[in-house]
């Protein structure tokens, strides 16, 4: 049979985990291959870039969406286990079929989608309408939308990893990101890691000039809950004691509406808030925690080449 699309893989994937055991990716691939009766020729098919087999690619997308809905967890790298919500989903899927529309019933998936709604359709929406777009959009537009979808999934995966790391690791991650953005690093000398007791929650200092007259204070915290206005006020107080009026707060979570207003309603202070979504976007854009898997070249006719003298 032909290689199934990634939505058709979702139910069999989840179903094979229903015994509560932890399954490795290799074992999942083996069992799904048997389930769909795929041949060696089927398994040899590759995505257009040639960098990955088609079936493994689709299993990966299926796994990613199941995890976004909270139906499976990753107890270890490349290992998967069903969650209590996943067991409920199997009972609800009376047609033995799970797709994106079905996943939209679950709160974790709704929360993931909501984080992208302010910028238009979510990655899931783009996936569902992609077949329609192919009939009306140019190839360049389709490629652009696909890249956005891939990056959105990368950002989500990256935040999940950071949320499971220690606070110290998160601060190190922020240092590497700031370094890539042009702050800090050997020989640059314009970013200093602080993070000592008595610093009022300040984790670092960005120097805007070589003599250190202009400073921006940094706070990087792996808050699980939403950051509220008290944290913003405490940070403003800390940088005020340092004689500065500029600061950046980074978190893997979100900021409450009150926190955002608190940062804006102090005209004498410039406080930039970077939530998890923006943090992940910056990381992906600057290759922090991710790597380039493939490059696509789009060519066009060189009209100058054909011009006659």
- The one-character DSSP state at 215 is E
Q: Chain centroid to CA 216: how far?
A: 27
Q: Does domain 167-285 have CATH number 3.40.50.2000?
A: no
Q: Which residue has the tokens 């206005």?
A: 229
The domain 6-114: what is its CATH number?
Answer: 1.10.10
Cα–Cα distance measured from residue 21 to residue 230, given in angstroms and rounded to the nearest whole number: 43
How much is the pLDDT for 189? 56
- How far apart are the two ends of the chain, measured CA to CA in Å? 57
Residues 57-104: pLDDT tens digits?
Answer: 899 999 999 999 999 998 888 899 999 999 999 999 999 999 999 999
Q: Which residues on neighbouring strands pair with residue 274, listed in sequence order?
A: 250
Cα–Cα distance measured from residue 28 to residue 275, given in angstroms and rounded to the nearest whole number: 34
HSE-up of 4 (CA within 13 Å, CB side)? 21
How much is the pLDDT for 196? 54
How much is the pLDDT for 127? 56
Pairing mode, strands 270-274 and 72-76: unpaired
How much is the pLDDT for 35? 95
How much is the pLDDT for 186? 47
pTM metric for this prediction = 0.65
In this structure, are residues 188 and 216 in contact, taking their beta carbons and an 8 Å threshold?
no
How much is the pLDDT for 278? 92
Buried b / exposed e over 165-180, threshold 16 CB at 10 Å, is eeeeebbebbbebbbb
> Which residue numbers in the chain have pLDDT < 50?
119-120, 129-133, 185-187, 197-199
How much is the pLDDT for 129? 44
How much is the pLDDT for 91? 95
The strands making up 191-193's β-sheet, listed across from edge to edge, are 191-193, 204-207, 215-221, 246-251, 270-274
Domain segments of the chain: what residues?
A: 6-114, 167-285
Q: Which residue has the tokens 């286990």?
A: 81
Within the chain, strands assigned E span 23-24, 72-76, 79-82, 191-193, 204-207, 215-221, 246-251, 270-274
**201: closest CA among 225, 170, 233, 178?**
233
Q: Which residues on neighbouring strands pair with residue 250, listed in sequence order?
A: 220, 274
Cα–Cα distance measured from residue 131 to residue 136, given in angstroms and rounded to the nearest whole number: 10
Cα–Cα distance measured from residue 3 to residue 5, given in angstroms and rounded to the nearest whole number: 7
How much is the pLDDT for 204? 83
How much is the pLDDT for 137? 63
Helix 54-68 vs helix 6-16: crossing angle, to nearest 10 = 70
**53: closest CA among 64, 35, 40?**
40
């Amino acid at each position: 049979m032909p290689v199934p699309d990634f939505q058709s893989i979702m139910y069999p994937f989840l179903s094979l985990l229903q015994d509560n055991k932890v399954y490795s990716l290799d074992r999942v691939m083996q069992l799904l291959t048997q389930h769909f009766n795929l041949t060696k020729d089927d398994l040899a098919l590759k995505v257009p870039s040639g960098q990955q087999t088609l079936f493994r690619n689709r299993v990966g997308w299926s796994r990613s969406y199941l995890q976004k809905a909270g139906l499976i967890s990753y107890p270890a790298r490349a290992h998967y286990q069903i969650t209590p919500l996943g067991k409920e989903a199997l009972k609800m899927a009376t047609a033995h079929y799970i797709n994106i529309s079905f996943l939209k019933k679950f709160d974790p998936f709704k929360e993931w989608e909501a984080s992208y709604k302010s910028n238009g359709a979510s990655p899931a929406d783009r996936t569902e309408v992609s077949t329609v777009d192919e009939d009306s959009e140019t190839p360049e537009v389709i490629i652009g939308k696909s890249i956005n979808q891939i990056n959105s999934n990368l950002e989500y995966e990256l935040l999940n990893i950071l949320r499971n790391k220690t606070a110290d690791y998160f601060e190190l991650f922020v240092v590497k990101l700031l370094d890539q953005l042009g702050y800090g690093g050997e020989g640059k000398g314009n970013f200093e890691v602080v993070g000592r007791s008595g610093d009022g929650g300040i984790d670092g200092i960005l120097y805007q000039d070589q003599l250190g007259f202009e400073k921006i204070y940094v706070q990087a915290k792996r808050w699980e809950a939403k950051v509220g206005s008290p944290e913003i006020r405490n940070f403003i107080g800390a940088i005020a004691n340092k004689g500065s009026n500029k600061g950046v707060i980074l978190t893997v979570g979100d900021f409450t509406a009150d926190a955002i207003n608190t940062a804006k309603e102090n005209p004498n202070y410039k406080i930039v808030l970077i939530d998890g979504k923006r943090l992940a976007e910056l990381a992906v854009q600057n290759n922090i925690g991710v790597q380039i898997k493939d490059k696509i070249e789009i060519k066009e006719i060189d009209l100058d080449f054909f011009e006659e003298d």
